[in-house]
Structure 1
Amino acid sequence: MTAMRPLALVTGGSSGIGFELAKHFAQNGFDLVISGSSEKVENSAEEIRKLGAECFPYQADAATYEGVESLWDFVVSLNRPLDAAALNVGIGQGGAFIDNDLEDDFKLIAINITGTVHMAKRVATHMVSNGKGRILITSSISATQPTPYETVYGPSKAFGFSFAESLREELRETGVTVTALLPGATDSDFHQNAGMGSSAIGKSKKNDKTEVARQGFEALMNDVDHVVGGDEVTKQQVIENRTTPEVVKAHNHAQKARLN
């Protein structure tokens, strides 16, 4: 019976929005492959199994070609069609650009851009050959504005948003859909891990990660091109970003993102 259930892949599925997405898939009849960078992915898989789904954890370094490719090889080894994929893994980095290590900038680009393109290539090719599939790409509301003091992160998420919309149009007649999720600040360890715990953004009220994941999952299942993840304040911010001058948005973000 398990083999008859659809299979979903969630990268960065061991914590935060990714783990919540994995739970939504499990609660809606999917088996899961979840990836993570640490052994925590094994414990997360145990939690997913309690929801009645089969869950296959895989520990991989999303910053390397070998890590991404080995995860895809693991998915293929299950010998099951992949029905959905949430390309969710991503990292942030706060601080002034000239102060941050170049190696850390490159690592962020490797995970948020290169790794996303790499996995999307494998997933999309597989799904198109099967004539069906759903792809969710986690971007950020940072994609809609300049992000000083997150000067590499924001552009990496702008890439993800544009990439998702572009790929969606290319695959329009293939049976494969693409949806972008643009979360606002969320109650995960994201800002702490990015070294932004002392910033105004780090200290601000956060959106519920379970609700953000629900919004992303529902948008994916209903073939919506993109959805802003969060409350009405978050959604209004994105609406206002469409008409606010870039220099004004940049100044406003700098005040919130600068480390205290």
Structure 2
Amino acid sequence: MSIDLDQDNATDLRPLAVVTGGSKGIGFELARQFAEHGYDLVICAEDAGVLGEAAQALTGLGPDGVSTVRTVAADLATYDGVEQLYAELQALGRPVDVLAANAGVGVGGDFARETDLDAELRMIELNVSGQVHLIKRVLRQMVERDRGQVLVTSSIAGVLPGPREAVYAATKAFLRSFGHALRNELSDTGVGVTVLMPGPTETEFFERADLQDTRAGQMEKDDPAMVAKAAFQALAHDRAQVVAGLKNKVQVGMAAAMPDTAKTAFHGQLTKPGKD
């Protein structure tokens, strides 16, 4: 259900940003960036209560002191959930200027011996199927208008095959490939696509993925506000890809020069159980 927290007669003069996974972490900070730069918002996540708290915090930001924030509580791991969000966007009667396709989840553990199949299949539905579904719906309208931007949240895991997060890393590799391919296909249009590749970030990811007792889970993490700021700047300059944080840039650069076996072994050390 869509909730209007603020209304303004001039909303049609402000651009509209849609942020999935917008209630917490990187998604919330992305929404903050858009609000502070004069965008109206639609934020989507599954938990209506947390969404409402996020919307309250985002309302009234921006250079004019006014921002319209709408929330859509929907499960984007399902076909119906994506269609629900898209129907809400259609009902607004306003074009989407930016889609931040950020919703995602992780699952950690040994694939053959530890992880739950249902959890991994649901992760694929959210991280891959739901993203493709929503982007397909919104992107066609952007192309018709010859204007718009899509931000696809991948991860540096998208270039590092991930032992003990094998399916998660594969979903992020898919998103990286998908985003770059779309950008090439749309190079003759006014629509841009940017791939965001954060590294370990101070969010609930490691707790939810059961990866706290790993080197990656224990290492110092990036501030999600920093990641979101880097993403917004990349969109503003229509960059193909943004890797947030110096150490992550170094890892991605190293990965480009390493064979797959070495990249996999390196990532496996980060996700190996135990802190030592």
* TM-score normalized by the length of structure 1: 0.98
Shift of 1:174: 1.9
Letter in 1 for 2:35: A
* Structure 2 residues not aligned, in runs of 5+: 1-9
Letter in 1 for 2:59: R
Shift of 1:258: 2.2
**Pairing 1:60–2:74 present:** yes
1:1-260 equivalent positions in 2, closer than 5 A: 1-39=10-48, 40-51=50-61, 52-98=66-112, 99-230=114-245, 232-260=246-274
Residue 166 of structure 2 aligns to a residue whose secondary structure is coil
Residue 148 of structure 1 aligns to a residue whose secondary structure is coil
Question: 10-19 or 47-56, which moves further after superposition?
Answer: 47-56
Deviation string 1:222-248 (CA, Å, 9 cap, x unpaired) is: 110001022x11111110000112111
**Would the aligned equivalents of 1:181 and 1:227 in 2 still touch at CA under 8 Å?**
yes
Residue 257 of structure 2 aligns to a residue whose secondary structure is coil
Give the share of equivalent positions with the same residue, in percent.
42
Letter in 2 for 1:16: G
Aligned equivalents of 2:88, 2:53: Cα separation in 1: 19
Shift of 1:17: 0.3
Runs ≥4 in structure 1, deviation > 2 angstroms? none
**Number of equivalences:** 259
Shift of 1:195: 1.0
**Which residue of the partner structure matches residue 7 of structure 2?**
none
**Would the aligned equivalents of 1:95 and 1:258 in 2 still touch at CA under 8 Å?**
no
Question: 178-187 or 97-106, which moves further after superposition?
Answer: 97-106
**Would the aligned equivalents of 2:60 and 2:68 in 1 still touch at CA under 8 Å?**
no
Aligned equivalents of 1:93, 1:209: Cα separation in 2: 20
Q: Once superposed, what is the RMSD of the aligned Cα atoms?
A: 0.9
* Structure 1 residues not aligned, in runs of 5+: none
Letter in 1 for 2:91: S
Letter in 1 for 2:206: H
Shift of 1:73: 0.6
**Would the aligned equivalents of 1:32 and 1:55 in 2 still touch at CA under 8 Å?**
yes
Aligned equivalents of 2:56, 2:90: Cα separation in 1: 22
Shift of 1:171: 1.0
Letter in 1 for 2:221: K
**Would the aligned equivalents of 2:108 and 2:210 in 1 still touch at CA under 8 Å?**
yes
Residue 152 of structure 1 aligns to a residue whose secondary structure is helix
Letter in 1 for 2:21: G
* TM-score normalized by the length of structure 2: 0.92
Aligned equivalents of 1:233, 1:178: Cα separation in 2: 24
Letter in 2 for 1:8: A
